[in-house]
Amino acid sequence: MRQSDAPRTYRVKSFGCQMNVYDGERMAELLAEKGLSAAPEGEEADLVVLNTCHIREKAAEKVYSDIGRLVKAGGDKPPMIAVAGCVAQAEGEEIMARAPAVGMVVGPQAYHRLPQMIDEAVAGRRATDTEMPADAKFAALPARRKVGPSAFLTVQEGCDKFCTYCVVPYTRGAEISRPFADLLAEAERLVAGGAREITLLGQNVNAWSGEDDRGRAVGLDGLIRRLAEITDLARIRYTTSHPNDMSDGLIAAHGEVDKLMPYLHLPVQSGSDRVLKAMNRSHTADGYLRLLDRFRAARPDIALSGDFIVGFPGETEAEFEETLRLVDAVRYAQAFSFKYSPRPGTPAATMEGQVPREVMDDRLQRLQAALNRDQLGFNQASVGRSCDVLVERRGRHPGQWLGKSPWLQSVFFDEAAGGAAAIGDLVRVELAEAGPNSVRGRVEQPAIA
Ligand code: 5AD
Ligand code: SF4
């Protein structure tokens, strides 16, 4: 690699989950602290960070084609390219060997070293860092700056569950919880920077544990209760949870902490106990349903969300129909469904009975039809409800705004006469008209926040 000029502008492109979005924001903050500025929309950046996702197929191919596109667009002055995220972790060496245009490869637990790696790259030395301990990363990151009304806060990383289909335990490492005091400080800075809502993130966020400011051992509910004391913080959410890490305290918090929103994302993956066992999920379909009942008892209006995989190796038509029955029983407000994708190095990738693509396509279509039906049904059932909408951005028409209901529905509304709204406001609306992906609201009173 040749020596090059120090980059002055950057662009971070994040793919995949919300934890990657959080990491992407933190990388941008690191780069800003180093004196780089965000490349204006539509302009080539001197440094491009591809913050990649490895969860499903074709992730690596996508990275190579993105690299090719960047090199081509740069002409005789190609950008400095950094590959970050889970593909970097899983396939770093291969990327370095195959793509000479890549100046650095940095894993999800090592990106705090990005600034030094840029200096190396400027000097003509390519560098790879896929070290694992995550605590070092958080300690080395700069303080948070100005943020939007809804902010992410990673509280837990990694996974010890080893579901047989999943790469996360290999790419993100073992479960770790960030310390309570650090999280409280980061949350306070986010709120001071403009956040009204914080979503606590973790691959197994409900496995978070720590010691509170009085030295008591606490779980996620303890952290949530303490964050709820931050005056200007209006809303708290958390994602993603695992059924086996649910505590009585967290369930109870849904009935007791007003700022904790009535929404639960709790992946189940399949409605068949045989498939769940083969996935190493360590819970049954019935156990999952009983858990949801307890959430509903604590917070009757709670909106439920989940993740599903169709076509796991060996899944029969009858087993898939058990998933449809579970969906019918739950009536999800929202859900995410995927075709099984064999991931290199995971146990399921070499299991017998890989399901043909056409069968997977058919099952995914049927499952999504059921989930879409329920999402629309949930939105329709919410018509007539009054709620606060946290305003996130302007809508397409003048005077129109877009935000989120407590149940995480996208709500759009027209500003009331004499009551101009602004980003970050909580506006009281009546939910008036339901669509499959959004709800129209009618302002009940001018902005209150
Ligand atoms: N194939 C398909 N979907 C997967 N997920 C995780 N690994 C795979 C895989 N190999 C889905 C799960 C998980 C979500 C984040 O992605 O549903 O909950
Ligand atoms: Fe993708 Fe999973 Fe990594 Fe998130 S943790 S970036 S979803 S592979």
Question: Across the beta sheet with 303-310, what order do the strands follow?
Answer: 263-265, 303-310, 334-339
Q: Is residue 3 part of a domain?
A: no
Contact in structure between 264 and 288 (CB atoms under 8 Å): no
**Is the minimum distance from the CB of 131 to ligand 1 under 6 angstroms?**
no
**For residue 449, is it within any domain?**
no
pLDDT tens-digit readout, 378-413:
999 999 999 999 999 999 888 899 999 999 999 999
pTM: 0.94
Which two structure tokens, joined as six digits, stand for 322?
A: 């058990």
**Are residues 128 and 221 located together in one domain of the fold?**
no
Q: Are residues 204 and 129 in the same domain?
A: no
Residue 64, domain CATH:
3.40.50.12160
Q: Which of 103, 135, 167 is the last residue of a domain?
A: 135
Q: Which of 274, 350, 285 is nearest to 316 (CA)?
A: 274
Over residues 203-214, the pLDDT tens digits come to 999 999 999 989
Domain check: are 424 and 375 in the same one? no
Indicate if 75 and 43 belong to the same structural domain: yes
Model confidence band, residue 418 (pLDDT cutoffs 50, 70, 90): low
Statement to judge: residues 122 and 33 lie in one domain: yes
Distance of CA 64 to the CA centre of its chain: 24
Nearest CA to ligand 1 atom 18: 307
Same domain, 411 and 278: no
Assess if residue 157 is contained within a domain. Answer: yes
Average pLDDT, stretch 279-301?
A: 98
The neighbour count for residue 129, using CB atoms within 10 Å, is 19
Residue 4 resides in a domain: no
Residue 66 exposed, middle or buried by CB count within 10 Å (0-12, 13-18, 19+): middle
Within 6 A (CB) of ligand 2 lie 16-17, 19-20, 53-55, 85-86, 167-168, 171-172
Rounded average pLDDT over 93-118: 94
Question: 3-class SS at 84?
Answer: strand
Coil, strand, or helix at residue 114?
Answer: helix
Domain annotation covers residue 1: no
Helix, coil or strand: residue 344: coil
414 lines ligand 1 (CB under 6 A): no
Which phi and psi (to 5°) does residue 287 adopt?
-60, -40
Distance 239 CA to ligand 1 centre (A): 15
**pLDDT (mean) for 342-366:** 96
Answer yes or no: do 354 and 427 share one domain: no
Is there a single domain that holds both residue 121 and residue 215?
no
Tell me, yes or no, whether 165 and 256 share the same domain: yes
Specify whether 80 is located in the same domain as 180: no
| Band of residue 2 on the pLDDT scale cut at 50, 70, 90 | low
Residue 282 placed within a domain: yes
Q: Which residues pair with 237 in a beta bridge?
A: 199
- pLDDT-derived band of residue 134, with 50, 70 and 90 as boundaries? low
Report the separation in Å between the CA atom of 139 and the middle of ligand 2, taken as the mean of its atom positions: 22
Same-domain check for residues 266 and 392: no
Nearest ligand 2 atom to the CA of 86 is: 3
Gap between the Cα atoms of 364 and 346, Å rounded: 22
Give nearest CA residue, ligand 1 atom 6.
Answer: 166
Provide the H-helix boundaries in 59-179.
59-74, 85-98, 114-122, 134-140, 168-171
Ligand closest to Cα of 239 equals 1
Residue 432: give its domain's CATH number: 2.40.50.140
Ligand 2 centroid distance, CA of 218 (Å): 27
Cα dist from 135 to 26, 28, 132, whole Å: 14, 19, 9
Can you give the residue range of the structural domain that contains 96?
A: 9-135
- Whether 196 and 224 have beta carbons less than 8 Å apart is answered as no
Instruction: Report the residue among 19, 283, 307, 351 best suited for mutation to probe ligand 1: largest number of ligand atoms under 8 A from its CB.
Output: 307
Of all protein residues, the one whose alpha carbon is nearest to atom 5 of ligand 2 is 168
Instruction: Look up residue 27 and give its two tokens.
Output: 């990388």
Q: Using an 8 Å Cβ cutoff, are 264 and 224 in contact?
A: no
CB of 341 closer than 6 A to ligand 1? yes
Domain boundary among 113, 135, 157: 135
**One domain, residues 401 and 312:** no
Q: Is residue 400 part of a domain?
A: yes
Q: Does residue 447 register a pLDDT over 60?
A: no
In a domain, 448, yes or no: no
Q: Is the C-beta atom of 269 inside 6 A of ligand 1?
A: yes
Residue where a domain terminates, one of 382, 409, 425:
382
Which atom, in ligand 2's list, is nearest to the CA of 53? 1
- Give the number of domains in the chain: 3
